[in-house]
Structure 1
Amino acid sequence: MSVKAIFQAVKVENASSPYDTIHLKIFYPAQVLGSHPEQNRGIFPADSQHAPFKVAIFFNGINCGIDSYQWLAVKLAERGLVVVTFSWVAQNFPGIVAITPGVDLKNLTPNTYGKSPTASALPTLLAALESLQSTGVLAGMLDLQHVILGGHSAGGRVAIENANPQFFPQVVAAFSYGAHSAAVMQLGYDAGIILPLPDVLPLMLIGGTCDGVIANNGALYGVTWEDATIPVKRTFTEAIAGGRNDSYLLLLEGANHFSITHPKDDTTGTAWLDFPATQPEEEVRNKIVEAIGLFIDAHVRSQTTALEALNQLLKSHQQGIASFERK
């Protein structure tokens, strides 16, 4: 399947200039029909035989450029999804300008958490999808009642925290890599608190046993993580009640915090905190996209074969998987 991408720029309501613009890159299954004036300008029609397309919105980690997630977006688009990545330069913290996944800090405090969404970019992104449904190469081809949220690091937390149909009725599932729901003490929490997740939709948490960023950031939460996977495990155990058999925890042996990124960018972000990966990076990425793809196919696209494959993966003790569980 051929994958192409288009770009959009959208304004964020209530954001201050110059930090009020989000730039989107939208990947989609395309038809390459040979020489054609539109294609000579880089415009390709969507492959309508796979429509209507379910949509995955991916939230980047702080100061992680979207190019590092393009490999994942392409792989998911090859499975028949439309995948949205975006770049928003803003001030998540006063005076600190960064590429942000969009975090509404005022809704993360003890008095507000769980009462309002924490995803400050998501309303704008959903509005942009409505516009794409009306005009352009994807017009009429999007299934906007089946939106999946995914993300890495802080973006992964945004994804799993906002998988709540009370806030966003069109969201039907979420996945994360290198993310957890531990409470930041600076926002007014006691040490070592794990905040609850909405826990009403299918969720998949993925982490690596060599995640140095998580291991070295315990002070933010008032603890020392003896193991890089502890807050991810605790999120699965404490923040999700389960009982529907659609919540998953996948821990990858030898994967680090940035195993989901390719190519890596060591000029920004927190790469210096990370531990070296001990498994071949391509093999780790293949496991990440296989798990995410099967999760979406099973629990969003209702493919029986995908659910069977997930069940087999749960039982397989495959090399490179430290643990895989469901509840």
Structure 2
Amino acid sequence: MNVRAFFHAATVEDISSPYNSIHLKVFYPAQISGSEPEGNLGFVPANSQESKFPVVILFNGINCGPEIYQWLAIKLAQRGLVVVTFSWIAENLPGVVALTPGIDLKMLPPIMYGKGPTASAFPTLLRVLESLQQQGILAGLLDLDKIILGGHSAGGRVAIESAEPRFCSQVVAAFAYGAHTAANVNLGYEASTILPLPDSLPLLMIGGTCDGVIAKSSHSYGVTWEQPTTPIIRTFQEAIAGGREDSYLLLLEGANHFSITHPFDSTTSRPFLDFPATQPEEQLRNLIAETIGLFIDAHVRYQTIALEALNQMLVSKNDLIALFDRK
């Protein structure tokens, strides 16, 4: 399937310039037509026969450029999804300017946590999607009742914390790589606290056994993790009750914090904390993309064959899988 993308920009309300602009790249299944606008401007129509398209919003890690997730966006768009990546440079903390997934800091302290989404970019992104449904290449082709939130690291955390129908009824599932809900002691939480997740929608959590960033950031949570995957496992065990058989935990043998990114960018974020990956990176990425795709197909599109493939992964032997669990 052909995949194309276009760019869009939006203003974030109640944020001062110059930090009130979000720039989006929207990936979609395309159909080459040979038309004049296509040849002159590169505007390729969507493959309307594959619509309506569920929408995946990818929240990047802090100081992780959206281009390092383009490989994943393309693979998901090839499955008939529209995928949104975005770039937002903001001053989340006084004097600290960063490329951010959008973290609503006021929703993090104990008195506010769980009362609203922590993804501060989401209202703006939703407003853009609604406008794209009205005009342009994707007009009338989006299934805005099927929005999936996904992300990496801090972006993965805000995705799974914000996937709650009370916050937005259009969100139907969430996934995260290299994310957990351990509570920062500087916000007033006790050491080793795991914060609850909404636990009302299908959830996929993915992590790597060689995640040095998580391992070396444990001081923020008042503990020393036994393993790099400890807070991810604890989040799966403690933050959700489960019982619907649509919440999954996948731990990848030999994957590190940045195994979800390609090409790797050593100039920003905190790659210097990471451990080396010990398995072939391309194989790890292919497994990440396939699992996310099957998860969406099974629990958003209700495809029986995808659910059967997930069930098979739960019991099959794969050297890249350290643990695959469901609850």
- TM-score tier by shorter-chain length is over 0.9
Match of 1:81 in 2: 81
Match of 2:121 in 1: 121
> CA–CA distance in 2 between the matches of 1:32 and 1:40?
13
% identical aligned pairs: 69
Give the aligned residue type for 1:181: T
Deviations 1:138-192 (A, max 9, x none): 0000000000000000000010000000001100000000000000111111110
Matched, 1:59 2:74: no
Q: What TM-score results when the alignment is normalised by the length of structure 2? A: 0.99
TM-superposed deviation, 1:40: 2.6
Give the aligned residue type for 2:270: T
> CA–CA distance in 2 between the matches of 1:117 and 1:315?
34
> CA–CA distance in 1 between the matches of 2:39 and 2:317?
46
TM-superposed deviation, 1:42: 1.2
> CA–CA distance in 1 between the matches of 2:127 and 2:33?
30
Deviations 1:269-312 (A, max 9, x none): 00000000000000000000010000000000000000000000
> CA–CA distance in 1 between the matches of 2:99 and 2:168?
24
Matched, 1:8 2:3: no
Match of 2:177 in 1: 177
TM-superposed deviation, 1:35: 5.6
Give the aligned residue type for 1:10: A
> CA–CA distance in 2 between the matches of 1:325 and 1:37?
49
Match of 2:153 in 1: 153
Give the aligned residue type for 1:34: G
TM-superposed deviation, 1:36: 2.6
Is the 8 Å Cα contact of residues 116 and 162 (structure 2) preserved in structure 1?
no
Match of 2:284 in 1: 284
The runs of at least 4 aligned residues of structure 1 exceeding 6 Å deviation read none
> For 1:250, what is the secondary structure of its paired residue?
strand
Match of 1:72 in 2: 72
1:4-43 superposed matches below 5 A: 4-34=4-34, 36-43=36-43
Q: Which runs of 5 or more structure 2 residues have no equivalent in the other structure? A: none
Deviations 1:209-246 (A, max 9, x none): 00000000000101111200000000000001000000
> CA–CA distance in 1 between the matches of 2:79 and 2:321?
23
> CA–CA distance in 2 between the matches of 1:252 and 1:40?
45
> CA–CA distance in 1 between the matches of 2:75 and 2:174?
17
Match of 1:133 in 2: 133
Give the aligned residue type for 2:109: T
- How many corresponding residue pairs? 327
TM-superposed deviation, 1:254: 0.1
Deviations 1:59-101 (A, max 9, x none): 0000000000000000000000000000000012211100000
> CA–CA distance in 2 between the matches of 1:34 and 1:210?
47
1:202-281 superposed matches below 5 A: 202-281=202-281
Give the aligned residue type for 1:179: A
